[in-house]
Amino acid sequence: MPAEPLYLTTPIFYVNAEPHLGHTYTTLIADVLARFWRARGRRVFRVTGTDEHGDKIAQAAAKAGVAPKEFVDRISATFRSTWEATGLACDAFVRTTDPHHVAFVQRILADIHARGDIYFGSYRGLYCFGCERFYQERELVDGRCPDHQVPPTEIAEENYFFRMQAYQERLREHFEAHPDAIVPEGYRREVLALLREPIGDLCISRPKSRLTWGITLPFDERYVTYVWFDALLSYVSPLEERGLRAELWPHAHHLIAKDILKPHAIYWPTMLMAAGLPLYRRLLVHGYWQMDAGKMSKSLGNIVRPLEVKARYGMDAFRYYLLRDMAFGQDAEFSEAALVARLNGDLANGLGNLTSRVLAMQQRYFQGVVQPRAPEERDDLLRAAFVTARGESDEHVKGLAFHRALESIARALDHADRYVVETAPFTLAKDPAKRARVGAILHELCEALRVAAQLVEPFLPETAARLWGLLGLPGERLQDLDLAWGAAFAPGHTTAPPVALFPRVELVPE
């Protein structure tokens, strides 16, 4: 049976700010999962994109003195080029201003309206202009918007509503029957708690008198659709456009940060039900990167620019730090000092140091030519350590515990370091009678590096490719996880002279 395909999405990012750490983390997780599953035989398709309509965009464009379309073209291009420059580009990039997306949204809205699940009504509520949303009294903190710390404005207007409430019971039953539909589990419990209270209906329009920068409702041209149908249908429209909906949509996995849990866990599935589309397969929810104990937020200033971090420390060190220091689902504290400590401590001293030691001995004793194996018990234990690491790290990635996967790989590398100390090839090399044993030890270590390259590939793709090249192996075999220990290096195979994979760095002062 062919493996189930995997359709992975990041949210479409709102173009009122340039790419920052939060965007980068979500997109990185999509990249890690795509690499991991592709190497294990699954078809993977990834989509990211930009959310380009709304008051805030219209205002930001006016402030910049340009038309909204010109403004969103520019910021959207920044997102696209950032993902390309950081190696995180997806298979498709959707923009909510794409004519195909606009037409798709209008078609779905017209369908749902025709079935009677969209109605006209009046709405009065507390509105935060910064958030572009109405607030419930109980969501406010001391009468103020929790994000903007300003009191909302009471406004009343006639609008269109989606009959979300009608689908509440079906949705609750779905999440109760599918324990892995929202992970980690804490977020599913949060959603089930929300579903014990009436969820109400959802206001889905804004009058053009107040907002023109949006998709016109197909059944009333005095209105544009507001946020949710426009934004969330971007998960389906790129598949529709490519004729991939039937094949991929049922295998959708949405990666999101916890601040958009409710729209994804309540609005979106009820919209899908009303549209007669299957529900997504899974919602994967991560926490916040915090700085100075505040939320990493586009509106609060403390910004980490992915291209700047890449320029300072390299993309793989940045990736490693993000994957190693956040437990998926929980919050973590971002610190450049911690990143540097990981780079020097884990990467330079770990995989980097082992690589240069092994390649240096290969060069010094054998001009890089890999010698025959002659396995002893200690050699078998080394191999076993890497077999264990592979099994553990695979299980951890499947459970989204990326930090644990990296710990498992680090344990195997530690084992290899001890193996070097205990077998002491640098001492044996002084005795010409031990030359064959020295060669055999180095062969085992080359295998350890070979497996290490394959294990780190989803997390550290540049490093894996460099290490693979240093070992003299053909690039296409990097994904060949069935390659047996001892089968990678044919007689006469030559490894390259050592280079520093991770030069140590000092923390760059501000």
Residues 2 and 457: their CA atoms lie apart, in Å, by: 23
Give the interface segment with Zn ion, choosing from 141-149, 186-194, 230-238, 248-256 (CB under 5 A).
141-149
Least CB distance to Zn ion at residue 152 (A): 7
Among 6, 145, 272, 322, binds Zn ion (CB under 5 A): 145
Annotated active-site residue 128? The verdict is: yes
* Contact range with Zn ion by CB under 5 A, out of 138-146, 164-172, 218-226, 486-494: 138-146
Number of residues that bind Zn ion (CB under 5 A): 6
Name which of residues 298 to 317 contact Zn ion (CB under 5 A).
none
**Residue (147 or 376) nearer to Zn ion, CB:** 147
Nearer to Zn ion, 41 or 146 (CB): 146
Told to judge if 403 belongs to the known catalytic residues of this protein, a careful annotator would answer: no
- List, as one string, the DSSP characters of 6-73: EEEEEEEEETTS---HHHHHHHHHHHHHHHHHHHTT--EEEEEEEE--SHHHHHHHHHHTS-HHHHHH
Least distance (Å) from Zn ion to the CB of residue 145? 3
Nearer to Zn ion, 5 or 130 (CB): 130
The answer to whether residue 148 is catalytic is yes
Catalytic residue among 23, 101, 253, 396: 23
| Shortest spacing between CB 197 and Zn ion, in angstroms | 22
Indicate if 253 belongs to the active site. no
Residue type, 363: Q
**Residue 130 interacts with Zn ion (CB under 5 A): yes or no:** yes
d(CA 508, CA 434): 47
Pairing of strands 332-333, 215-217: unpaired
Query: Which one of the listed residues 90, 145, 203, 446 is annotated catalytic?
Result: 145
Question: What is the residue type of 439?
Answer: G
Q: Which is nearer to Zn ion, 128 or 397 (CB)?
A: 128
- Residue 265 as a binder of Zn ion (CB under 5 A): the answer is no
Two structure tokens written together for 157? 């207007």
Q: Which residue from 32, 128, 203, 291 is in contact with Zn ion, where contact means CB under 5 A?
A: 128
Interface residue with Zn ion, options 147, 259, 333, 336 (CB under 5 A): 147
> Kind of pairing, strands 6-14 and 252-257?
parallel
Closest distance of CB 299 from Zn ion, Å: 8
| Nearest one of 484, 499, 11, 493 to 257, comparing CA atoms | 11
State yes or no: residue 140 binds Zn ion (CB under 5 A).
no
Least distance (Å) between residue 156 CB and Zn ion: 19
Secondary element (H or E) of residue 506: none
Query: For residue 156, what are the β-bridge partners?
Result: 124
In 201-251, which ranges are E strands? 202-203, 205-207, 215-217, 220-225
Q: Is 131 a catalytic residue?
A: yes
Q: How far is CA 86 from the centre of its chain?
A: 13
Q: How far is the CB of 138 from Zn ion (least distance, A)?
A: 15
Non-local CB neighbours of 345 within 8 Å, separated by 6+ positions: none
The amino acid at residue 309 is V
Is 335 buried (19+), middle (13-18) or exposed (0-12) by CB count in 10 A? middle
Residue range at the interface with Zn ion (CB under 5 A); choices 97-105, 106-114, 123-131, 294-302: 123-131
Report how far residue 260's alpha carbon sits from residue 286's, in angstroms, rounded to the nearest whole number.
Answer: 10
Q: Compute the residue count for the chain.
A: 510
Kindly compute the dihedral angle of the four CA atoms of residues 407, 412, 417, 419, in this order, to the nearest 10 degrees: 160
Which residue lies nearer to Zn ion by CB, 145 or 471? 145
Window contacting Zn ion (CB under 5 A); options: 42-50, 125-133, 184-192, 346-354: 125-133
43 or 148, CB closer to Zn ion? Answer: 148
CA distance 313 to 333: 18
**Which one of the spans 13-21, 127-135, 242-250, 291-299 is the region binding Zn ion (CB under 5 A)?**
127-135
Q: Which is nearer to Zn ion, 47 or 145 (CB)?
A: 145
Q: Is 227 in the site for Zn ion (CB under 5 A)?
A: no
Q: Check binding of 148 to Zn ion (CB under 5 A).
A: yes
Is 298 known to be catalytic?
yes
3-state secondary structure of 125: strand
Q: Give least dist CB 141 to Zn ion, A.
A: 11
Q: Which of 20, 56, 254, 396 is catalytic?
A: 20
CA end-to-end distance (rounded Å), the chain:
55
In angstroms, the CA 101 to CA 93 distance is 12
- Binding status of residue 131 toward Zn ion by CB under 5 A: yes
Which residues belong to the active site?
20, 23, 128, 131, 145, 148, 295, 298
Q: Given the rule CB under 5 A, which residues bind Zn ion?
A: 128, 130-131, 145, 147-148
